[in-house]
Amino acid sequence: MAVLLFAVAWLVAGPTGLGGATTYVTTHGISMEPRFRTGDLALVRPAAEYRVGQVVAYRSTVLHSIVLHRIIAREGDRYVFKGDNNDFVDPVHPRRAELIGRLWMRVPRGGTALDWLRTPTIASLLCGGVALLLLAPARRRRRHRRGRGDARSRPRGASSVTRRPGTISNPNVQMAVAGCAVVAVVCLGLGLLAWTRPATNPVAEKIFYTHKIRFSYRADAPAGAVYPSGIVRTGDPIFLRLVRQVRLKVAYRLVSAAPSRLSGTQEVLVRLTSLTGWSRTMQLQPPTPFTGARSSASVVLDLDRLQRLIHRVETLIGAPSGAAFTVEVVPRLRLKGTLAGEKLATTYDPALTFQLDPLQLRSGTGTAASAPGAAERFAPSRGGSVAAIARTPNRLSLRGHGLAVGTARWSGVVGFMLALGAALLVALRERRRPTDLSSQIRARYGHLIVPIAAIMHDPAQPVIDVTSIDALAQVAERSERVILHHHRIGAESYLVDDDGTLYRYQPRPYLRLETAAAA
Check residue 514 and give its pLDDT: 41
> Measured between alpha carbons, how far is 244 from 301 in angstroms, rounded to an integer?
9
Question: Given this model, what pLDDT does residue 17 score?
Answer: 63
pLDDT in tens, 421-477: 887 887 777 666 655 677 778 888 888 898 988 887 777 788 899 988 999 999 999
CA atoms of 63 and 82, how far apart (whole Å): 16
pLDDT of residue 7: 60
**What's the average model confidence in pLDDT over 377-383?**
92
Letter string b/e over residues 82-101, b meaning 16 or more CB atoms within 10 A of that residue's CB: bbeebeeebebbbeeeebbb
Task: Looking at mean pLDDT, say which of 105-109, 123-127, 210-214, 505-509 comes out highest.
Answer: 210-214
Q: 44-48, 146-150, 229-233: lowest mean pLDDT where?
A: 146-150
Residues with Cβ < 8 Å from 400, sequence gap 6 or more?
none
In the chain, % of residues over pLDDT 90? 35
pTM of the model: 0.46
What are the DSSP calls for 134-174, one per residue? HH--HHHHHHHHHHHHHHTTSPTT-TTT---TT----HHHH
Give the rounded percent of residues in the chain with a pLDDT score beyond 70. Answer: 78
pLDDT score of 438: 78
Per-residue model confidence as pLDDT tens digits over 303-326: 999 999 999 988 888 888 888 999
Average pLDDT in the 227-238 region? 93
Backbone angles phi, psi at 421, to 5 degrees: -65, -40
Residues 401-423, mean pLDDT to the nearest whole number: 82
CA distance 123 to 416: 14
Provide the pLDDT for residue 161: 44
pLDDT for position 366: 47
**Radius of gyration from C-alpha coordinates of the chain:** 45
H/E/C letters for each residue in 461-475?
CCEEECCCHHHHHHH
Return the higher-pLDDT residue of 160 and 495.
495
Tell me what pLDDT residue 147 has.
45
Q: Please, what sign has the CA dihedral across residues 169, 436, 139, 188?
A: positive
Cα 241 from Cα 80, distance rounded (Å): 54
What's the rounded Cα separation, in Å, for the pair 220 and 226?
Answer: 12
CA–CA separation, 45 and 316 (whole Å): 80
- Find the mean pLDDT for residues 223-249: 93
* Residue-averaged pLDDT of the chain: 81
Does position 356 have pLDDT exceeding 90, yes or no? yes
Strands 352-356 and 360-363: antiparallel
Above 60 in pLDDT, residue 149? Answer: no
Q: What φ, ψ does residue 415 adopt, rounded to 5°?
A: -60, -40
> Dihedral through CA 47, CA 50, CA 53, CA 58, nearest 10?
80
Spell 162-185 as b/e; 16+ CB within 10 A means b.
bbeeeebeeeebeebbeebbebbb
169 Cβ partners below 8 Å, 6+ apart?
A: 163
pLDDT (0 to 100) of residue 202: 77
